[in-house]
Chain A
Amino acid sequence: MFMAKIEVVMPQLGESLTEGTIVKWHKKPGDKVRRDETLLEISTDKVDSEIPSPVSGVVTRLLFDEQKTVAVRTVIAEIETEGSETVLASAPPEAPSVSPPAIKPFTFTRPPSPPRVPAPPSGRFYSPLVLNIAREGGISMPELEQIPGSGEGGRVSKKDILAYVEARKKGAPTPGAAPSVAPAAASTIPSAPRIEAGLRHIDSGELTKKYPPPQYEILQMSNLLQKMSEHMVRSVHTSPHVQAVHECDMSKVDAIRRNHADGFEKREGFKLTFMPFICDAAVKALQQFPLVNSSIEGDKIILKKFVGLGIAVASENGLIVPVIKNAEEKNFVGLARTVNDLATRTRSKRLLPTDIEGGTFTVTNYGVFGTMVGIPIINQPQVAILGIGVVKKRPVVINASEGGAIAIRSIAYLTLSFDHRIVDGALGGSFLATIVKHLENFDENQIV
């Protein structure tokens, strides 16, 4: 005879019931109980009921006291049976009289989850299909960003990307299929301030005789103008100017700028322009090439351990170059704020004399006028000046090492004019290349 432990559970006497209360135990541990003999009484929301024992045996444990409320199907008691008592003398149980029929399987397939895609920096919408085609065609996000879209809202449609993939395969220039990009910013060139309007008209004896009106008009140069004129002549006479020009792919910078435009403006209160990027790159390069951040006294080179970054600003009265003091201590946002501050105060004529002192290097952005390549004059006593040309979308060759493909990129030409007394072509070229490298690989994380 073997013993078996049987667990008695709280029954569910009604479909919606979840618990029952033990009202009274009719047995205690050690008591014998017969099958179907009342073991306990329970109470539920619906009914009070006597619960018969499921087996015959000896009650060994009562797990809950009377008046305890317990969830249905919880074990509430244990009974030791005498095991073999209920074994039938006759044959073992057979299968039911009717064997249930075989059931055909009913397939349920889980749909596959789509691969993850990085967010496009420009915020332009790409449909799942377009992203799929791009991925299959090995088109990276930056490349995708350059494809013109003829779909709604200028989005790249299936047709657009398929055409691009075709053209890319053939190596042909990307078809100008209904370009929705606005034509070159001819209408957006800022007009130069009219200097002569602010100058004093002169009527000066000798000169008026030599240049009489109405064919001639004589104006008195302003102080600023005299200074500039004098400075420029002196500069050319002092420094043997050599120029290096470098092509710079500003696509990444442009994308970052556009990506963060709204957020930046919201936070800082002014627009994010190219200048802070250029300043940042220049400062880094100057730290790498300290000779470019110096001046000359006779046969001595005065190395500056600080960077005073001058930003050439076209004002009403002429060219002014306010200086970002200790630019090497500023991060990107700091540079942006300072540039903005100086530009604003320049235009509102609130610059202080100290603002234009202490420069060690100058940046001049004539690109705003649409100038592609410039040959600037060094701002004495500095030994170099960086000129930035217009940022324009141009067809260029990419992946040249793998055969090459034509892509559309935002390109600008950077010019470094430098003083060949101490800066030779190698140094000038390397310095400029470094700036370009910083710009082309600008780290987006600097922005925030």
Chain B
Amino acid sequence: MARTSTDNKTVRSRAKAQQQTRTHLDGGLSKEDLLKLYYVMRLTREFEDTILRLYQQGKIVGSAYSGNGNEATSVGTAYALEKHDYLFPLHRDMGAHFVKGQGVRNLMLQHLGRGNSLARGRDGTGHYSDPSLRIYGNISHLGAMVPVATGVALACKLRREKSVVMTYIGDGGANVGEVHEGLAMASVMRLPLILIIENNQYAYSTPIFKQILVEKLSDRAIGYGIHGITVDGTDVLEVLRVSREAVDRARRGEGPSIIESVTMRMHGHAAHDNAWYVPTKLLEEWKKKDPIGRFEKLLVSEGLLTNQKRESMLKDIEAQIEEALLLTESSPDPPGEEAAQGLYGE
């Protein structure tokens, strides 16, 4: 790698960056992996920006959510999973859906509640399930999926499957009773569950200091006798590293882990909320740590991401979204009578 500057600081930081990449390359991350991580984070952002625009255009009804600023967490955590592992994502984890293999088309149709979407319009946003990809969508009640994820983890253990279950909760949601009950059961039974606490500083308009007294939410793991760690949620490689450790731990039968991933909620709680209550200074600070920007810088400095490559990736993402939009526009609404069908399984 040719040096282009003799500045010590630059040399040191570049060396550090090289070391990071090399660590990951040594730790089993190929060049393709790194580019894929970047691609999916970009895709997630572009997709969610499109969703927001569609909402503003009145084409999405009800509500729409974004995980802007959370891409490193959603992508990094899910990237540690294998095909046969289970994902129970939350509403700011679109990146995880993409990592697991969900297509832009399906997610677009799902958000617009079309008749040929995976939920056939019975529910919107990410509230769908796709067993072929082992994605099980959340419900609006935060924390409700943790005991269910625990149950799936139980099934894995009982059937001696090597699969693990990864689920998510927010800093506010972590206070819900069902989260505790799920963790209590998963811990004492040493179930293969990984809980990602996405601490993005705000639960709707409630800032973190009104939600908890402790510094680190991962300290709650101590109460359950399980492993807990807090990680910089804007550093996709760090997130991936600790996620892999947690997944391995679970697969070895050593029980659940809590990973607190610290980020910032860059947009409002939902598309109708412009987060006027968040101090502008806070947002500005976190903007500097934008996970995509950070990672892009790292990849560029390593020569792994050229301008040309980047442009072609963006073009590809745009094309996918375009095509998904076209498909969605021409897809029908579910017929009204379908509401009366399919209440009971046969």
Contact = CB atoms under 8 A, between A and B. Distances in A.
Interface of A: 8-15, 17, 36, 44, 46-52, 54, 72-73, 86, 88, 90, 93-98, 100, 103-106, 108
**Helix, strand, loop or mixed for chain B's interface?**
loop
Nearest to B54: A54
A8 B53 CA distance: 13
B322 A100 contact: no
Given A46-B273, A88-B319, 13 more contacts: A11-B57, A11-B59, A12-B61, A14-B63, A15-B63, A44-B272, A54-B57, A88-B323, A88-B326, A94-B105, A96-B117, A98-B130, A106-B340
A56 to B, nearest CB: 12
B134 to A, nearest CB: 12
A345 to B, nearest CB: 75
Return the 5 tightest CB-CB contacts between A and B, nearest first: A11-B58, A93-B327, A14-B272, A103-B342, A103-B341
B59 A54 contact: yes
A36 to B, nearest CB: 6
B117 A51 contact: no
A46 B103 contact: no
A11 B116 contact: no
B323 A93 contact: yes
Interface string B108-127: 01000000111010000000
Contact of A96 (B58, B103, B322, B346): B103
5 contacts: A13-B271, A46-B272, A50-B56, A51-B56, A96-B106
Given A13-B272, A17-B272, A98-B118, A52 B57 contact: yes
B55 A106 contact: no
A93 to B, nearest CB: 3
A103 B59 CA distance: 26
Contacts of B268: 47
Interface string B127-169: 0001010000000000000000000000000000000000000
Nearest to B276: A47
Interface in B286-333: 319, 322-324, 326-327, 330
Contacts of A88: 319, 322-323, 326
A106 B346 CA distance: 12
A202 B116 CA distance: 117
Contact of B272 (A47, A52, A100): A47
A52 B53 contact: yes
A18 to B, nearest CB: 13
A441 B61 CA distance: 69
Contacts of A8: 57
Contacts of A90: 323
Contact of A106 (B273, B330, B341): B341
Contacts of A86: 322, 326
Contact of A104 (B57, B118, B132, B346): B346
A100 B58 contact: no
B82 interface: no
Contact of A97 (B62, B103, B319, B338): B103
A90 B326 CA distance: 12
Interface residues of B, number: 37
Nearest to B325: A86
B345 to A, nearest CB: 9
Interface in B50-98: 53, 55-59, 61-63
Contacts of A15: 62-63, 272
A47 B62 CA distance: 15
Contacts of A13: 55-56, 271-272
Given A11-B56, A93-B327, A48 B341 contact: no
Contact of A48 (B59, B274, B319): B274
Nearest to A16: B272
Interface in B24-44: none
Given A51-B56, A72-B58, A93-B105, A104 B341 contact: yes
B109 A96 contact: yes
B214 interface: no
B222 interface: no
B1 interface: no
Contacts of A100: 116-118, 120
B57 A51 contact: yes
B342 A106 contact: yes
B2 interface: no
B282 interface: no
Contacts of B61: 12
A96 B105 contact: yes
Contacts of B326: 86, 88, 93
B56 A98 contact: no
Contacts of B213: none
A95 B330 CA distance: 11
Contacts of A46: 272-273
A12 B274 contact: no
Contact of B340 (A48, A54, A96, A108): A108
Nearest to A74: B58
Contacts of B322: 86, 88
Contacts of A95: 116
